[in-house]
Amino acid sequence: MLITIGGMVWQRWNVWFGNRPEMPFTSKPYPHRILLTLGENTNQRILSWQHDSVIQQATVKLTKLHSTDTLVITAKGNIVRSRGGVTAFYTAQLNDLSSNAQYAYQVLSGEKQTEWYQFKTTSTNSPFSFMYIGDVQDRDTSNTSKQAFQYIYQHFPEADFWAFGGNQIERPMNSYWEAFMNDLDGIRQSTPIIAIAGNHEYLKYAIRKIDDRFTYTFPYFINNHNNNHVFTFVYGNVRFILLDSNREPWYIWQQRNYLKEVLKNNSSLFTVVMLYHPVLSNKSSWNNASIRLMMDPILSQYPVDLVLQGHEHGYARNSKKDKSGTSKLPIYVSSHLSKKFYPSFKATKITDAIIPNTALFQHIKVDNNILTLYSYTLQGEKVDSVSIVK
């Protein structure tokens, strides 16, 4: 038994604990990798960007279109040291934005400034939609995901924001961050991008360590909860809860308590939870056991409608059933946009739809008391849909 265990550890050591070396890099001497993301409510936005390797005075100019007033918002800088280099990250929070309005902004740091970008807000009670994109995890750093992102952007320009479900990058290295940002160029400056962490955003140690570039790219995580990258916000009539399932069991227990507390005080009509590892796995009944044991009772006890997941590199829509065979909430959806597929991905007794070996993305629409999820291929074929009516 010891020999067998030793052989398995030797074979899997690099998978479990091996971090590929990162090539040295120098952060660009001007504002770059500008990303617009969401805040705690419909009328708040946050901007993040990078500039050089030392903190400089940085601001954002913000104006409502057709208005003569321009606000100057001070940005906060933070030095992030990674294995390949040092980068100065900046964050600016745009508060109390008007509903159903268009804004223009310009980023200034040091003596450099960007062009003006635009974004819009929606009305608190208006219908809205968002895109869900599972694992991208592109190993090719020559913009191969750009076509996919451009296709989604061109066909669903009305989406209020994009939600990435983990493993946005192949490894926590500058070259992969550069690829991800390049592929989203022209989108991330005007369409809010939110994301949760996948295992590939982490560095591998006995206790995993998230790469700080992820935290400062998505700065709603900066003031993380007990060292957990969790966040909750309200958009329209939907409460979103972002979790980090990549952590050790004691951190998952903390997140369980966080989830329970948010749900106990939740008054939104719909609730969407995002976490990376599927609560109900389509690879093995033993997969993600700690996640299932700790999270499933809470998700079933409180009114949760939709759970968005990734990791298993296949599409599945699962739900538990009542005695009559009718699906019960929440609906669990796993999806991915990666070129990598897992052959062990299969249907279980609670699977309502399964599509292996196909890269998909989701368009999720919320119109008053109806939430509808549509799943599409990159060829435009709608392959699955489900509606939740309150």
Q: What is the CATH number of the domain that holds 112?
A: 2.60.40.380
């070259």: which residue's tokens? Answer: 175
**pLDDT tens for residues 45-96?**
999 999 999 999 999 999 999 888 999 999 999 999 999 999 999 999 999 9
**CA separation for the pair 374, 336 (Å, rounded):** 14
Range of the domain at 54: 32-120
Query: Is residue 366 pLDDT above 90, yes or no?
Result: yes
The per-residue pLDDT for 307 is 98
Query: Is residue 16 pLDDT above 60, yes or no?
Result: no
User: Helices 146-155 and 174-183 meet at what angle, rounded to 10?
Assistant: 30
Q: Is residue 13 part of a domain?
A: no
Poorest-confidence range of 62-71, 81-90, 116-125, 342-351? 342-351
Residues 141 and 109 in one domain: no
pTM: 0.93
For residue 322, the domain's CATH number is 3.60.21.10
Query: Is residue 224 pLDDT above 90, yes or no?
Result: no
Amino acid type, 285: S
The per-residue pLDDT for 195 is 97
Q: Is residue 47 within 8 Å of residue 94, measured between CB atoms?
A: yes
Which of 98, 120, 142 terminates a domain? The answer is: 120
Residues 205 and 275 in one domain: yes
Which of 102, 120, 138 terminates a domain? The answer is: 120
Instruction: Provide the 10 A C-beta neighbour count for residue 52.
Output: 20
DSSP assignment of 331-365 equals EEEE-B--S---TT----TTEEEEE-S--EEEEEE
Q: Is residue 18 part of a domain?
A: no
The per-residue pLDDT for 141 is 54
DSSP assignment of 187-219 equals TTTTS-EEE---GGGEE-SSS-EE-HHHHHHSG
Q: Is residue 205 part of a domain?
A: yes
- Which of 71 and 338 is assigned the larger pLDDT? 71
**CA separation for the pair 269, 255 (Å, rounded):** 22
Q: Is residue 133 within 8 Å of residue 361, measured between CB atoms?
A: yes
Residues 115 and 188 in one domain: no
What sign for the dihedral angle of Cα 177, 183, 186, 188? negative
Instruction: Provide the 10 A C-beta neighbour count for residue 86.
Output: 14
Work out the mean pLDDT of the chain and round it to a whole number: 91
CA neighbor of 165 nearest in space, from 244, 237, 252: 244
- Which of 17 and 123 is assigned the larger pLDDT? 123
Helix (H, G, I), strand (E, B) or coil at 255: helix
Poorest-confidence range of 1-5, 53-57, 120-124, 308-312? 1-5
Which of 94, 120, 146 terminates a domain? The answer is: 120
The residues, any chain, with a CB within 8 Å of residue 261's CB and separated by 6 or more, are none
Q: Is residue 104 within 8 Å of residue 116, measured between CB atoms?
A: yes
Total structural domains in the chain? 2
Instruction: Provide the 10 A C-beta neighbour count for residue 328.
Output: 11
The per-residue pLDDT for 283 is 83
Poorest-confidence range of 187-196, 347-356, 364-373? 347-356
